[in-house]
Amino acid sequence: MSVLSNHTGTTTPLFHELKKQASSFFKEKIKNARLVLTDVTPAQLLTEETTNGNPWPPDTRTLGSISKAAFELDDYTRIVEILHKRFQKFERKHWRVSYNSLIVLENLLDSWTRECCS
């Protein structure tokens, strides 16, 4: 069985699934290498992933993890630095990056307000 079909330009679902798994595997390995070899925190990686321009807004679990991490001073400065960079590099074509960054910022402000008031 050939991985590619007889028609040029079309591929089998097996090939697409294999390609997706390989891509996911390499992304995870690169993320782990960045954590080990560089001065990057998990909260920083999570913030970068959340604000990278995905078509879907960040989920509540991810936003909660970022909010919890932001109460640590080191993570707070890294998260705010990432958000600042995302807002500085606004491009109309890639508006989702800024939109997702606004969602993260809104959630941070909301969680900080709730913590301060309780």
Percent of the chain with pLDDT over 70: 90
Cβ atoms within 10 A of the Cβ of 80, count?
14
CB 50 within 8 Å of CB 100? yes
pTM: 0.72
pLDDT tens-place string over residues 40-70: 999 999 999 999 988 999 999 999 999 999 9
**Counts of helices then strands in the chain (DSSP H, E):** 5, 0
Rounded to an integer, what is the distance from CA 40 to the centroid of its chain? 14
Has residue 1 got a pLDDT over 50? no
Q: Which domains does the chain have, with CATH numbers?
A: 1-38 (no CATH), 40-117 (1.25.40.90)
